[in-house]
Structure 1
């Protein structure tokens, strides 16, 4: 049976990772970005309307004001609508969703390995500290990659304009001066990455202390007086 210290460290790591999974699960279900564009009738130089795209990972809302009519709000499914455009935006958005799913899978692996170590003493293999390091590190790194890809997709590509055209039934308007604000879901990925790193630190502190203790036991005579070592 593992020691109480080991059990506490690994249980704490599993608990922290479980919290990170809950945070990421909520993040994937809420708002990720909001893009606002100035709008005008095709050929007109007066941009007195606005188009606002509220974007989640799976669902979105298009709100129009004088673009070109007085006002209208349409809900849509993000991936099916992007499929109609068949552009880079679709590939990047699907990549974000897949990477987040992989993050959840890695976190689940970290939880299972931590719980296994809390009740047993496996060898130094992928089922020991190494497994927690790999799974949690992958979760943290992939979540950072998700943040970068999503920002680039919203701000650099023409994702918002393409969504407007597809949802707005190809209304002939001109759009310019796009501005984007990241939402709650996007920022919640940051604490998810932090929690994953905390899970690594909890195991590292225990593993380092255990390694130091083993080294001290392997060399018990190094600090003994020379007179005693002669006998």
Structure 2
């Protein structure tokens, strides 16, 4: 059976990972970004309309005001509409969702490993601290990659413009001056990443203390005179 100190460290790590999963789960269900742009008819040199898109991961809301003539508000399935427009935005959005699923999978692995270590001592196997380091560091690295890819998709591709044009239909429109603001869902990736690293730190602190203790126990024997060692 593991010591009380070890159990507390690993249970603390499991708690940190569990909280991170709850945060990520909530983040995946709420708004990630809002894009706004000016809109006018193809033959109209004056910009008198606007279009806003609010993004969640799976759903979004397109709101058009005089774009190009009439307005309206519509809820869309983001991935379904991106499949209609195709191109890089669809690929990047698919990658983002896949990576987030991997984050949840890695976090689940971290929780199982830490709970197992709180009642057992599998130090030299993949179910020991090495397994935790792998899963939790994977969660942190993947979530950081998601932060970058989502910014690229919203800011640098024409995802928002394509979705508005797809919503307008056959009427040609001019879209310009796009601005984007990231929302709670996106920023919740940061505490998720921090908590994943905290889970590693809690176990590493215990491992380092245990290693130091073992070294101190061995030192008196190593430093003893050879004459004493002979008897």
TM-score, normalised relative to structure 1: 0.95
- Contact persistence 1:63–1:74 (CA under 8 A): yes
| Superposition deviation, residue 61 in structure 1 | 0.3
Q: What's the counterpart of residue 72 of structure 2?
A: 72
1:1-231 to 2 correspondence within 5 Å?
A: 1-222=1-222
| Superposition deviation, residue 183 in structure 1 | 0.9
- Contact persistence 1:9–1:202 (CA under 8 A): yes
| Superposition deviation, residue 215 in structure 1 | 1.5
| Superposition deviation, residue 15 in structure 1 | 0.3
TM-score, normalised relative to structure 2: 0.95
| Superposition deviation, residue 169 in structure 1 | 2.6
Secondary structure of the equivalent of 2:7? helix
Task: Return closer, same or farther for 1:170/1:210 CA change in 2, 3 Å cut-off.
Answer: farther
- Contact persistence 1:76–1:167 (CA under 8 A): no
Secondary structure of the equivalent of 1:14? helix
Unaligned runs of 5+ in 1: none
- Contact persistence 1:2–1:120 (CA under 8 A): yes
| Superposition deviation, residue 168 in structure 1 | 2.6
| Superposition deviation, residue 66 in structure 1 | 1.3
Q: In angstroms, what is the RMSD of aligned CA positions?
A: 1.5
Unaligned runs of 5+ in 2: none
- Contact persistence 1:59–1:76 (CA under 8 A): yes
- Contact persistence 2:123–2:129 (CA under 8 A): no
- Contact persistence 2:165–2:173 (CA under 8 A): no
User: Using the alignment, how far apart are the partners of 2:226 and 2:127 within structure 1?
Assistant: 42
